[in-house]
Amino acid sequence: MDKQTVNLYFIMGTLNLAGRNPLHVLEEALKGGVTCFQLREKGPGALTGKELKAFALECQQLCEQYSVPFIVNDDIDLAIEIGADGIHIGQEDGCVSAVRKKVGPEMLIGVSTHNVAEAIAAADAGADYIGLGPVYETQSKSDTQPVIGIETVSEVVTLLPGLPIVAIGGISERKASAVIKAGASGIAILSAISGSENPGEAAIRLKAAVLLSLTGIEM
């Protein structure tokens, strides 16, 4: 997996969009330059069953239109059924080797990690990329782990230099530079895009911050 694939990794479900059309938000974000999209449909009132499948297929179609990988969070059966590009699992969603047996050799597998030991374990098990965080305090999830800070990002990057590492948790446009300079391949964004009045413009600014930081140019 190319590290550029995760430069700007957008995560979204139908909840917490203040009544806006999630497909419109997703398309605006895709137009703005997100490089990977994860459908994370969880929580009270989340879509399930046929409604979830229908929504996932619509998101997948949009991602294909913009040549952006479509990742499903946690729901392995759904990912297989619709032929998603990848599946993303947490620490309690099963081991990478078992998931690999189910999804086959082609589907990307991402793993959420919260410390050095989990990151190394995911890499050793064959994860295609890892999510690492929360780097900063975040309000996007109610079940977050303790904040790990920039130092842990740097340590994991040093230990796993060939693996795409996506930093997640409270990352804003202003904080993106520090995360990328710590060595992260990209940033995972939830509310900074989905909570913006202009998701497309938010994506453009975040993408610019990431790419500028990757060049090493000081502003």
For 96-129, what is each residue's pLDDT tens digit? Answer: 999 999 999 999 999 999 999 999 999 999 999 9
Structural domain including 119 reads 3-215
Mean pLDDT in residue range 35-41: 98
Q: Indicate if the pLDDT at residue 154 is higher than 60.
A: yes
Whole-number Å distance between alpha carbons of 207 and 209: 5
pTM of the model: 0.96
Q: How many CA atoms lie within 13 A of 213 on its CB side?
A: 23
Contacts of 155 (CB under 8 A, 6+ apart): 116
Q: Indicate if the pLDDT at residue 93 is higher than 90.
A: no
Q: What percent of the chain has pLDDT over 70?
A: 96
Annotated binding site: 38-42, 73-74, 93, 112, 138-141, 170, 190-191
- 5-36: pLDDT as tens digits: 999 999 999 997 877 899 999 999 999 999 99
Check residue 138 and give its pLDDT. 82
Confidence bin at 217 (pLDDT 50/70/90): low
- 166-201: pLDDT as tens digits: 999 999 999 999 999 999 999 999 999 999 999 999
Q: Indicate if the pLDDT at residue 219 is higher than 50.
A: no
Residue 112 known to be catalytic: yes
Of these residues, 3, 31, 100, 141, which one is catalytic?
141
Confidence bin at 145 (pLDDT 50/70/90): confident
Least confident span in 42-46, 87-91, 138-142:
138-142
Annotated binding site for Mg(2+): 74, 93
Establish whether the linkage from the previous residue to 134 is cis, with ω within 30° of 0: yes
| Phi/psi of residue 87, nearest 5 degrees | -130, 140
The domain spanning residue 123 has which CATH number?
A: 3.20.20.70
Least confident span in 12-16, 136-140, 149-153, 158-162:
136-140
Residue 40 known to be catalytic: yes
Q: CA 214, 108, 33 angle in degrees (round to 5)?
A: 40
Q: Indicate if the pLDDT at residue 43 is higher than 50.
A: yes
Of these residues, 40, 175, 205, 207, which one is catalytic?
40
Measured from the Cβ of residue 90, the count of other Cβ atoms closer than 10 Å reads 14
Are 107 and 117 in contact by the 8 Å Cβ rule? The answer is no
Check residue 141 and give its pLDDT. 60
- Please give the C-alpha separations between residue 83 and each of 57, 70, 168, 177, 206, in angstroms, as whole numbers: 10, 9, 26, 34, 29
Closest of 6, 78, 4 to residue 42, by C-alpha: 78
Residue ranges in 66-115 assigned as alpha helix (H): 76-82, 96-103
> Torsion-angle region of residue 183: left (phi > 0), alpha (psi -120 to 50) or beta?
left
Check residue 216 and give its pLDDT. 74
Of these residues, 112, 194, 196, 213, which one is catalytic?
112
Q: Indicate if the pLDDT at residue 148 is higher than 50.
A: yes
Measured from the Cβ of residue 167, the count of other Cβ atoms closer than 10 Å reads 33
User: What is the domain count for the chain?
Assistant: 1
